[in-house]
Chain A
């Protein structure tokens, strides 16, 4: 189905096949194993991004993967603005966006008619769009290319972790390879090994949650079509009565089609191309398409109780799983990576105490709860559990055609936005604000000086950054803290969008964390206020 070529190891132009290579660590005598600060397990989007982030911060990273190729199929396809801004920081944003299909509009249909449309990014002045659609294998291939530019990362394919032993000062990692097994000592292990994480089992963690009975069929088809690059979602369409359907464009004339099936549908039969074809033909009104990938899935919403087990830290699907409606899986995993990278870097450099890592669990488990809540609500709306739930949904859909509130209650997936953290690292507001990102919020973008604020943040080193508006009366920040000055004597804010998005007055300043979240903000900052906010955000008490 997929245009895979095992000889060249590429899929649709992206390199996906890699080779096992023996590493000198494997030749060390037993009892004299190599020691590494960080071992990341799992070279998916989360593990690859985390490795790049840590390496850019100057850490040596060992990245292990039990396979030697990038997984087949499109899988995750929607990458959020937040993820693209993160990938900009990792040096791969342009490649992703150049290849991806940019979109921000979604349409919801009920039966044969359109109920409403929404725009996820209705305003101008942002470097990145609300979303791009890009097959996961492209994202992974571009990240692998980036990894290969960074000598600080040792990426080892067909290196399967078989055991973990926690010690006081690290983790003893046992690894199986085609040439036998070896061991490593790691100060920290980060498990990015996916929903079926074997490391989660090794630490003995539970992974309980809600199981959804409905089955969904994904068919990625190749066809030439004139549909706009929008997300189309149907409730009870004429071509798929009583169920929901989704149509979404990917690069290379590939279209993602997602059809809800009955809970009792036979998964083996439903997956056969000869059975999928008539369903898709009914939807499209023709059968001039080829299958790229077919997958049938059920899903669970669940998360680990604790994302940190001793010196083993969990991120992405290994730590939490959501329903796919809302693009909250891969995007939240990337947010995990960015949240963790700077903290782990500071802890390894002994700039912050190890309990800074606790804030990773606090912030990202709250985000996982939010993502689970949002995606569960979407799923329940698509597949009502009881007759009364179905009746309420029917009422909402009926009201939506003539009322605004009804439209807004229709839940065809609430798409991923970064969670606002209620965090011990944040300094609560003490001044009066009418808007702007409050502490714990991901920074807002705005056009400045012919570029964008997110670019300026990247250029200042992705470290703690003092974002100051106005005349410079805010004084010089401490060493190691970057400064972005906007307005008088600084970067031009010609459209005044930065000022308005940050509710800034002359003298206003924000303290941004190395992951671009707001740590604190002040109308009248002083060196003492900044120092206190900085210590708090770095977990230094």
Chain B
């Protein structure tokens, strides 16, 4: 596994906060634009296609798991 999922920030709250605050005052569309740019900038910084693919798989698994949970609740 090339992707690091252990905690890398000394102060994780600062990192979370920095991203949250970047979205303050933005419309949903602007937020989505911001996220898109942020993802591309960070992906390039990582610069490792194997890490990127693992990150995509991890993020996507969350989305799909959530979708399945919601479907089960509706049934």
Interface residues of A (CB under 8 A from B): 388, 391-392, 394-396, 398-399, 403, 405-406, 409
A-side contacts of B36, CB under 8 Å? 388, 391-392, 394-395
- A sample of 20 more A-B contacts (CB under 8 A), given A388-B32, A392-B36, A399-B40, is A388-B36, A391-B32, A391-B33, A391-B36, A392-B40, A394-B33, A394-B36, A395-B33, A395-B36, A395-B37, A395-B40, A396-B40, A398-B37, A399-B37, A399-B41, A403-B41, A403-B44, A405-B40, A406-B40, A409-B40
Nearest CB in chain A: distance from B21 CB, A = 20
User: Which residues of the other chain, A, contact B33 by a CB distance below 8 angstroms?
Assistant: 391, 394-395
The smallest beta-carbon distance between B18 and chain A, in angstroms, is: 19
Instruction: Please name all residues of chain B whose beta carbon is closer than 8 Å to the beta carbon of A396 when the two chains form the complex.
Output: 40
Q: Which 4 A-B pairs rank lowest in CB-CB distance, beginning with the nearest? A: A395-B36, A395-B37, A405-B44, A391-B36
Chain A proximity mask over B2-14: 1 for CB below 8 Å, otherwise 0: 0000000000000
Q: In the complex the two chains form, what is the Cα distance from A399 to B39 in whole Å?
A: 12
A399, B41: Cα distance in complex, Å: 9
Report how far A395 CA is from B37 CA in the complex, Å: 5
Residues of B contacting A388 in the complex (Cβ-Cβ under 8 angstroms) = 32, 36
Q: Which residues of B contact A406 (CB under 8 A)?
A: 40
CA distance A392 to B40 in the complex (A): 8
Q: Which residues of A contact B44 (CB under 8 A)?
A: 403, 405
Set of chain A residues within 8 Å of B41, measured between Cβ atoms: 399, 403
Residues of B within 8 A of A394 (CB): 33, 36
| Residues on A with beta carbons closer than 8 Å to the beta carbon of B37 | 395, 398-399
User: Distance in Å from the Cβ of A205 to the closest Cβ of chain B?
Assistant: 34
A to B CB contacts below 8 Å, 18 in the list = A388-B32, A391-B32, A391-B33, A391-B36, A392-B40, A394-B33, A394-B36, A395-B36, A395-B40, A396-B40, A399-B40, A399-B41, A403-B41, A403-B44, A405-B40, A405-B44, A406-B40, A409-B40
A302 to B16, CA, bound (A): 45
Q: Within 8 Å CB of B40, what residues of A?
A: 392, 395-396, 399, 405-406, 409
Indicate with 1 or 0, residue by residue over B26-39, a CB within 8 angstroms of chain A CB atoms: 00000011001101
Residues of B within 8 A of A398 (CB): 37
A378 to chain B, nearest CB (A): 18
In chain B, residues 27-64, which have Cβ atoms closer than 8 Å to a Cβ of chain A?
32-33, 36-37, 39-41, 44
Question: Which of B36, B39, B44 has the most chain A CB atoms closer than 10 A to its own CB?
Answer: B36
Q: How far is the CA of A405 from the CA of B40 in the complex (A)?
A: 9
Closest to B32 in A: A391
Contacts of A399 in B (CB 8 A): 37, 40-41
Chain A nearest CB from B40 CB (Å) reads: 6
In Å, the complex CA distance between A396 and B44 comes to: 11
CA of A118 to CA of B33, assembled, Å = 27
How far apart are the CA atoms of A405 and B33 in the complex, in Å? 18
Contacts of A392 in B (CB 8 A): 36, 39-40
- Of chain A, the residue at the smallest CB distance from B44 is A405
* Distance in Å: Cβ of B9 to nearest Cβ of chain A: 23
How distant is the Cα of A391 from the Cα of B32 in the complex, in angstroms?
A: 8
Shortest CB-to-CB span from B45 to chain A, Å, is: 9
Residue of A nearest to B40 (CB): A395
Residue of A nearest to B45 (CB): A405
- The complex places the Cα of A403 from the Cα of B41 at a distance, in Å, of 9
Q: How far is the CB of B27 from chain A (nearest CB, A)?
A: 13
